[in-house]
Structure 1
Amino acid sequence: MKNKLISLFAVFILLCSLIPLELANAHPGRTDANGGHTCRTNCAKWGLKTGEYHYHNSDGSIKKETIKTTVKEKTKKDTKTEKSITSPTGLVLPKLQPAGTLQVYYLDVAQGDSTLIRTPKGQYILIDGGNNNQGKNVVKYLKGLGVKKLDVMIATHPDADHIGGLDDALKAFDVQVIYAPKVSHTTDTFKDFLTAVKTEGRTIKTAKAGVSLTIDGVDASFLAPVNDYADDLNAWSAVLKITYKDTSFLFTGDAESKSENDMLADGVDLKADVLKVGHHGSKTSTSKAFIDAVKPNYAIISVGKNSYGHPDSGILGRLNNVNAVTYRTDKQGTITAISDGSKITFVTTKK
């Protein structure tokens, strides 16, 4: 018996010698859903602080990763607390929401617009791509959310802060259908977009009032542009309305009062639970008549640091007057709206 114990002990010593020193001294801690955990012991040895979040590589080395927790804001109704991952480049990535819901990700692309929509059937629609310098971030956002293919890409109008990053998205993903209003521009940014479309072997379908998207499980139709607006690029903005059961979303690009008045005169149903506020909250958009017709419960303003005065205080007051809960990407980061068909809840990546 004594000889057996000695043999077993010798085997144990041999096995331990085969384990890398780093793993043998690794600190304990159960990994979470993201595959990492917080440091509890031997933290200084690993170059970590107590409680610092990290991952273990296969060789036992450490990969640091910051986890930022957002909290429910007292002024925001139906806003959940959520963990969001900050990538090594500092980009805060939103969390993918459960399948079977309509998910709208209003991406934080600084002073610009970019929105990703995931339908209950798992189809993806990308509306705009921010400025040129945001293209790579838009691709990272989409890849982080598991996007492999874009069923629809919409360029609302030729302004650089809306289409600048779309060429990156075209190169990174298989894009099935592209929509844009029938207006052109002479900028290099617009030419880059057209070149990317051609390089990928695609053509552009015209976005205009009355055109519907072929998307399963939701109703998606363009409400604008209604008319021809010559060289007024903002007025050309493609305005899309998506309805999922009892909930609805309105995406307005940079549409201003001229386009808003034409939509009102066209007699279309503008009522929507969530309004993506036109032109980053500029005073030239979101007229009283328009907002009275939309009657939004929630308003999203895609905006960053700027010298234009966006969002305008008068527009913020107008939204407050109709009791719309307002979210801003410059304050809340990427804003995610989740609809189960009857109720809409929100998650943000910043407090």
Structure 2
Amino acid sequence: MKRTKKLLCLLLVVFLSLFLISCEKNDNSNRNSGADEKLKVHYIDVGQGDSELIQVNGKSILIDAGTSDKKSLDYLKSLGITRLDYVIATHPHEDHIGSMDDVIINYDIGSFYAPKVTTTTKTYENMIDALKYKGLKINVPKTGEKINIGNSVLTFLAPNSSKYDDLNNYSIVIKLEFGGTSFIFMGDAEDISENEILAKQLDIQADVLKVGHHGSHSSTTQAFIDKVNPKYTVISCEKGNDYGHPHKETIDKLNKKNIKVFRTDIQGTIIATSNGESIKFNVDSVDKKANVSGNELKKASNK
């Protein structure tokens, strides 16, 4: 009888020990899985256009789709993307929605966002036709509206008016927060939209700023760049483009503040990876001496 009791006690001790070890392993596993979570932002080289892919918490978010040459679509396919949980067309210019109809047709899409503005261009009509074909409706975001994606938050910052003279200012502006890191995507929002965002005293401090309107002098006012106070900026444009993007005025502001600059016209696709505490890029930032305006870069290339 005594031997049976001793045996039972021993078995109980072994069971409790194994249980505690299992709990500790699971706890460590959960902590490690959180630490291993990463956010990836792909600033896709689509030439003279805009397209960004965000991958976070197993979700994929596409902002714009570049021109009609399908570079954005080809890039998505190269990554093996099978579903886009959120798609955002910042505004209806061809260099931002040129391939949007192809993206819509080729992918299962969760939610589609666009500003409340229409145009009569064939590009816009193609996008609308594709949405109808897939049975998707357009969600028009409101300023301050948030989308929670796991431990990340996407907040809409603009547009803040119902009517603008320039389509650029209808651009949906987005802030993405992941842990202690943050990113802003400007579309082609110009100084008018930037001033509205500042007037609303929205939280726009961010580590990475996707510069508005391809680095045009019409965007990135001094007041706005001072308020965002980014460590890094990304400019999406094509080498030798006819607009001279990025313009000297914008480059001078960024260089003066010693902000690290990444450019698709010089470096191709830029990929930023965040672990929630720090951000790393797939390439080094552009050297200050090489960070010149589009026109200056074009002249240097032609020599």
- Contact kept, 8 Å, 1:333 with 1:349, in 2: the verdict is no
Q: State the one-letter code of the partner of 1:127.
A: I
1:75-114 paired onto structure 2 within 5 Å: 100-114=37-51
Query: How many percent identity over aligned positions?
Result: 47
Partner of 1:213, secondary structure, is strand
**Structure 2 residue 183 is the aligned partner of structure 1 residue 246:** no
| TM-score (norm: length of structure 2) | 0.80
Q: State the one-letter code of the partner of 1:312.
A: H
Q: Which residue of 2 aligns with 1:150?
A: 84
Q: Deviations over 1:299-331 (max 9, x none)?
A: 000000311111011101101122210010010
The CA RMSD measured in Å over matched residues stands at: 1.7
Please, which of 54, 58, 73 is the counterpart of residue 117 of structure 1? 54
Q: What is the CA distance between 1:208 and its match in structure 2?
A: 3.3
Please, which of 58, 65, 71 is the counterpart of residue 129 of structure 1? 65
Q: Deviations over 1:178-200 (max 9, x none)?
A: 00011111100001011111111
Structure 1 Cα separation of the partners of residues 135 and 60 of structure 2 = 20
**Structure 2 residue 100 is the aligned partner of structure 1 residue 166:** yes
- Contact kept, 8 Å, 1:256 with 1:278, in 2: the verdict is yes
Q: Which residue of 2 aligns with 1:309?
A: 244
**Structure 2 residue 255 is the aligned partner of structure 1 residue 320:** yes
| TM-score (norm: length of structure 1) | 0.69
Q: State the one-letter code of the partner of 2:99.
A: G
Q: Which runs of 5+ in 2 are unaligned?
A: 1-35, 287-303
**Structure 2 residue 136 is the aligned partner of structure 1 residue 199:** no
1:1-351 paired onto structure 2 within 5 Å: 100-119=37-56, 121-133=57-69, 135=70, 137-304=71-238, 305-348=240-283
- Number of residues paired by the alignment? 251
Q: What is the CA distance between 1:349 and its match in structure 2?
A: 11
Q: Name the CA shift for 1:286/1:188 in 2 (closer, same or farther; >3 Å).
A: same
Structure 2 Cα separation of the partners of residues 110 and 348 of structure 1 = 18
Q: Which residue of 2 aligns with 1:3?
A: none
- Contact kept, 8 Å, 1:212 with 1:221, in 2: the verdict is yes
Q: State the one-letter code of the partner of 1:315.
A: T
- Contact kept, 8 Å, 2:233 with 2:260, in 1: the verdict is yes
Q: What is the CA distance between 1:138 and its match in structure 2?
A: 1.5
Q: Deviations over 1:23-48 (max 9, x none)?
A: xxxxxxxxxxxxxxxxxxxxxxxxxx
Q: What is the CA distance between 1:215 and its match in structure 2?
A: 1.9
Higher mean alpha-carbon deviation, 231-240 vs 209-218, is at 209-218
Structure 2 Cα separation of the partners of residues 164 and 140 of structure 1 = 13
Structure 1 Cα separation of the partners of residues 117 and 284 of structure 2 = 35
